[in-house]
A and B are shown apart, each in its own frame.
Chain A
Amino acid sequence: MMKVETEVNVKNIRSFYTSLKNELEKESEVILDLTDTVRIDSSAAQVIISAMSRAAVLNKKISITGASPEMKALLSLAGL
C-alpha cells in the first residue's frame, strides 16, 4: 500500500517516482492509495503507466484504490 499525496505534479514527481520505484522493487503488489489525492498531472500518469508495464514484466501488480469520481475521470483520460 502506497499512500499518494494530495497532489502529484512535476514539482514532486521525482519523489513520487523514487518511492514507487522502491515500492515496486520490494513488493510483489503495489496498491496506490488515492484517497487523499485530488489531482495528478501527466507526469504522474506516465510514471504510473510505465510502472504498470514494468510490473507486468516482473510479474508483479500495481493497482489503484480510493480514487474519487473526479480522480477516476482524470485517470481514464490519462489512459489508466
Chain B
Amino acid sequence: MGEGGLTEVFLNECTEIIGNLESDLVTLEEKNDDQDIINRIFRYFHTLKGSSGIAGFTVIYEFTHNLESLFDKVRSGEILVNRDIIDILLDSIDYIKDELFSDSGSPESDTIRKDLTDRINVFLGTTDKKEEEPEDFLKAVGAYKSVGSNERYFKIAAVFKEDIFNNGIDPLMVIEDLSGLGKIISLTVDKKRIPDFEKLDPEKCYMSWDIVMKTRFDEMKLRDVFLFVYDDNEIDIENVTEKYNVSKETPYIAEKKLGEILVEKGIINNNELEDLVRMQNDKNFRLGDIIVQKGLASPKQVDEALSEQDKIKKKIEISTVRVDSTKLDNLMNLLGEIVIGQASLHRVADDIEEEKAFRLKNSLYSLDRVTREFQEQIMSIRMVPIGPTFEQFKRFVRDAAHNMGKEIKLHIEGADTELDKTVIEKIGDPLKHMIRNAIDHGIERSDERRKSGKPAHGTINLKAYHQEGNVYIDVIDDGKGFDLEKVKRKAVSLGMIQPEEEITREKLVTIVFSPGFSTAEQASDLSGRGVGMDVVKTNIEELRGSVEVKTKEGEGTLIRIKLPLTLAIIEGMLVRIGRSVLIIPLLSVIETIQVSRENYKTVEGKGEVILVRGDYISLIRLNELFGIEANFTNPWEALIVIVESDGERIGIMIDDLIGQQQIVIKSLDNFITTSRSISGASILGDGRVALIIDIHGMVEEIKNR
C-alpha cells in the first residue's frame, strides 16, 4: 500500500470516528453516567491515537494521547462529565478535523492546539498531580466485559510479511489495538518462525500470532484493526463463537466433541468427561472453563483441543466485503441496460408469428422475474440506515442551541430506517436547513416557553419510517409554529401576494417554499421563518420527493419529507399521445377509464372535470401541457388515466395505453427545461427516449398557472 493509500484510509477512518465521537459526546452530556458510551468514546480516542501514529500524523498522535488520558479519567470516575469537559473534547475534535482536513492547515493551528492542551492539562493537573499513561490495556478492556449474549469469540491468525517494518507498521501495535477490542483468551506467538539469534536480521519481521479473543464487536470491527495490513499479510479471522458460547439447544454435541478430543489426547478420562458434561448441563457452564477450573487441564491444552475442534467443525463465518460504491452504481447501470434490453426483446416478440412469440414471451417473463429479484438484491445493498445522518445533528443542535441561548433536545426515531445511499448523501443538507430553522425561529427561549406553559427545553424530533413504498422523514418541533401574519406581511412586501388578497393558511405555508421568499431575509429577523426553504424543496424534489408542512401557532411545526424507496428503477405505465410515448409512475396510477360525454363538464374556475364514481375530478390535457399533438381532443373519445397526488385524484387524457414495464430512470440535466412536470427520462426498447411524468410536480405546475 502506498503512502497516499495509507493516508486516505486513515482519513476515511477518521471521518467515521469523528462523526461517532461527536454524536456520542453530545449524548454523553445528557446521560453523563452511561458506561457503554464512555467506553465507546475511550475506544474512539484510542483508535484515533493509534491510527494517527501509524499514518505518521505525529502531532495528532500526541494530541489525542492527551485526550485519551483526559477521557481515561472520565472513565475511571475521577472527572465527572459536565459541559466544560464536553466543550473541551468537542473543541479538540474541531481542531483535529481542521488539522486533518483543511487544505493548508491554518496558521493558528499551533496556538489552538496549545490552548486546548492547556485546558486539558488543567483537568489532568488539578485532579491528579502525576501525569499518567492510560492504564494497561488488559485492565482497560476489563471495562468492556460483561454482556453475556452479545459476546463473540474470534480466532485470529496473523502472519506478517518480513518487510512490514519498511511500511512503518508495527504489528505489535496492531495486536495491541486488537486486544483493546475485547478480552484475549489465548495468545501464541509463533516463535518457530523467528530465526536463530545469530542469524536474525532485526530489521525484518518474523512475528506471527494466533489469538483467540472474546469481544462484543463484530468481525468487521476486528477486520478494521487490520485495515492497513490486510492486503499484503496473511490475516485470517474466524468467528468461533459457536465453539465457546454454545446455545442452549446444542451444548451437548459441540462440547462433547471438545471433551472427546481431550479424552483422545489422554488429558482427561471418560469418567471425568461424563461428570463434566453433566455438570455443564446443570449449570450451563462452558466445558472448557470447567475443565480449566477443576485443574484437569491447562488453558493451553483446552485451547489446543479447541483449535483441533475447528478442523472437525464446519466453518461458520459471517463474511463481509467492503465494496467501492461506484462499483454498485455500475452494477445498477448495467442492470438498467439489461432491463432496457428485455423491453426491446418484448417488442420483438410482438412482431413475430404467434407460436414463437408465445414461447419467447414465456421465457421473457421468467427472465423478468429474475431481473426483478436481481434488482431487489442490488437495491438492498444500496440501502443504508439513516442513523449516522441523524446522529451528526446532535452536535449541530447542541452548538446552535447554545449559541442562541436556547435549550433544545434532539430526539431521534427510526435510525434503522434504510434509504438508498444516494438519498442519504443528498438529504443531509436539506435536513440541516430545516433543523436550523426550527432552532432559530421555531423553538422559543426557555422563559418564553415557561410563560406559555411548555417545558423549558424545546424538543426537535427527527423521525424516519417506511410507508406504502415511500420513506418519510419528519422534522417536528414543539416551538411556536409559523407566524402566518408575519409570513403574509412579508409576502406582501415582496409583492408575492396582494395586501387585500384572501389567502388560505395552506397557501401561506407553501409561500415559505417559494423561490425568493427567503433570499431577502438573511439580513433581518422580520422573516419569521424560512432560511432557504425553497432550496430545501428543490433539493428534495431532485430526489423525486416532496415536502409538506403542518404548523400550528403556539404548538409547533411538522415538516414531512416523502421520498421514493429507490431512485434508479420504477414501475412505469407507458402511454401514447400522438407520436409521443410518456411514462406515468405506476405507484400514482389508480385506474384507466373511458368517460361518457354526459360525465364531462367544464366548471367555472375549475376548468374541465369528469365524473368518476360520484366525484368530479380535474382533467388534464397532457398534450397541451407538453406542447404535443394528440389524436383525440374529445375526452369521451380518449382514454383517461386516473392518478393520485397528495390524496387528490386527477384524470390525465391520453390516446392509448401501451403497457407497463420497469423503467430505468435517467436524470435530465436541469438546465434543459424549467418544467416541473417531468422527473426524468427513460430509454425505451426501441432506443427512443421517453419522458417520465412527475405527477406531483405536474399538479403543482397546473395549479400555479
Q: Do chains A and B touch in the complex (CB under 8 A)?
A: yes
In the complex, whether A64 has a CB less than 8 A from a CB of chain B is no
In the complex, whether B220 has a CB less than 8 A from a CB of chain A is no
The answer to whether A45 and B207 touch (CB under 8 A), given A77-B176, A79-B188, is yes
The answer to whether B189 touches A76, judged by C-beta atoms less than 8 angstroms apart, is no
The answer to whether B171 touches A16, judged by C-beta atoms less than 8 angstroms apart, is no
In the complex, whether B671 has a CB less than 8 A from a CB of chain A is no
Partner of B187, one of A41, A42, A79: A79
B136 surroundings in chain A (CB, below 8 A): 68-70, 72-73
A46 surroundings in chain B (CB, below 8 A): 194, 200, 202, 205-207
In the complex, whether A9 has a CB less than 8 A from a CB of chain B is yes
The answer to whether B170 touches A42, judged by C-beta atoms less than 8 angstroms apart, is yes
A42 to B172, CA, bound (A): 5
A49 to B137, CA, bound (A): 21
In the complex, whether B138 has a CB less than 8 A from a CB of chain A is yes
The answer to whether B196 touches A54, judged by C-beta atoms less than 8 angstroms apart, is yes
In the complex, whether B507 has a CB less than 8 A from a CB of chain A is no
The answer to whether A10 touches B165, judged by C-beta atoms less than 8 angstroms apart, is yes
Partner of A41, one of B170, B197, B209: B170
The answer to whether B189 touches A79, judged by C-beta atoms less than 8 angstroms apart, is yes
A27 to B622, CA, bound (A): 99
In the complex, whether A31 has a CB less than 8 A from a CB of chain B is no
The answer to whether A53 and B205 touch (CB under 8 A), given A41-B173, A76-B187, is no
The answer to whether B170 touches A17, judged by C-beta atoms less than 8 angstroms apart, is no
B175 surroundings in chain A (CB, below 8 A): 77-78
Interface size of B in residues (CB-CB distance below 8 Å): 32
Contact with A along B189-224 (1 / 0, CB 8 A): 101001111101011011101000000000000000
The answer to whether B194 touches A21, judged by C-beta atoms less than 8 angstroms apart, is no
B598 surroundings in chain A (CB, below 8 A): none
A32 to B187, CA, bound (A): 23
A43 to B209, CA, bound (A): 14
The answer to whether A50 touches B187, judged by C-beta atoms less than 8 angstroms apart, is no
In the complex, whether A4 has a CB less than 8 A from a CB of chain B is no
A50 to B187, CA, bound (A): 18
A41 to B165, CA, bound (A): 10
A77 surroundings in chain B (CB, below 8 A): 137, 172, 175-176, 179, 184, 187
Q: Which residue of B lies closest to A78 (CB)?
A: B172
The answer to whether A50 touches B195, judged by C-beta atoms less than 8 angstroms apart, is yes
In the complex, whether B133 has a CB less than 8 A from a CB of chain A is yes
A16 to B202, CA, bound (A): 9
A72 surroundings in chain B (CB, below 8 A): 136
A9 to B196, CA, bound (A): 20
A38 to B136, CA, bound (A): 12
The answer to whether A17 and B179 touch (CB under 8 A), given A9-B170, A41-B172, A46-B207, is no
Contact with A along B666-698 (1 / 0, CB 8 A): 000000000000000000000000000000000
Q: Which residue of B lies closest to A54 (CB)?
A: B197
A10 to B194, CA, bound (A): 16
Chief secondary structure at chain B's binding surface: mixed
Q: Which residue of B lies closest to A12 (CB)?
A: B202
In the complex, whether B351 has a CB less than 8 A from a CB of chain A is no
B133 surroundings in chain A (CB, below 8 A): 38, 68, 70
CB distance from A26 to the nearest CB of B (A): 15
A16 to B179, CA, bound (A): 27
The answer to whether A47 and B207 touch (CB under 8 A), given A42-B172, A53-B197, A73-B137, is no
B173 surroundings in chain A (CB, below 8 A): 41
A21 to B171, CA, bound (A): 24
In the complex, whether B311 has a CB less than 8 A from a CB of chain A is no
Partner of A43, one of B165, B184, B187, B195: B165
CB distance from A21 to the nearest CB of B (A): 7
The answer to whether A78 touches B202, judged by C-beta atoms less than 8 angstroms apart, is no
CB distance from A70 to the nearest CB of B (A): 5
B184 surroundings in chain A (CB, below 8 A): 77
Within 8 A of B (CB), among A38-60: 38, 40-43, 45-47, 49-51, 53-54
A16 to B200, CA, bound (A): 13
The answer to whether A17 and B137 touch (CB under 8 A), given A46-B194, A74-B176, is no
Q: Which residue of A lies closest to B134 (CB)?
A: A70
The answer to whether A14 touches B189, judged by C-beta atoms less than 8 angstroms apart, is no
In the complex, whether B135 has a CB less than 8 A from a CB of chain A is yes
A10 surroundings in chain B (CB, below 8 A): 165, 170, 203
A69 to B133, CA, bound (A): 10
The answer to whether A13 touches B203, judged by C-beta atoms less than 8 angstroms apart, is yes
The answer to whether A43 touches B189, judged by C-beta atoms less than 8 angstroms apart, is no
A76 surroundings in chain B (CB, below 8 A): 138, 187
B314 surroundings in chain A (CB, below 8 A): none
The answer to whether B171 touches A42, judged by C-beta atoms less than 8 angstroms apart, is yes
CB distance from B53 to the nearest CB of A (A): 10
Contact with A along B91-135 (1 / 0, CB 8 A): 000000000000000000000000000000000000000000101
In the complex, whether B139 has a CB less than 8 A from a CB of chain A is yes
Contact with B along A1-36 (1 / 0, CB 8 A): 000000001100110110001001000000000000
A72 to B138, CA, bound (A): 10
A14 to B201, CA, bound (A): 9
A68 surroundings in chain B (CB, below 8 A): 133, 136
B165 surroundings in chain A (CB, below 8 A): 10, 42-43
4 A-B pairs with least C-beta separation: A79-B189, A54-B197, A73-B136, A17-B202
**What are 12 A-B residue pairs whose CB atoms fall within 8 Å in the complex?**
A14-B202, A41-B170, A43-B202, A43-B205, A46-B202, A49-B194, A50-B191, A51-B197, A70-B136, A70-B137, A73-B136, A74-B172
Residues of B bordering A, CB below 8 Å:
133, 135-139, 160, 165, 170-173, 175-176, 179, 184, 187-189, 191, 194-198, 200, 202-203, 205-207, 209
Apart from A14-B202, A14-B203, A54-B197, what are 16 other A-B pairs with CB-CB below 8 Å? A10-B165, A16-B202, A24-B197, A42-B160, A42-B205, A43-B170, A46-B206, A47-B200, A49-B194, A68-B136, A69-B139, A72-B136, A73-B137, A77-B184, A78-B207, A79-B191
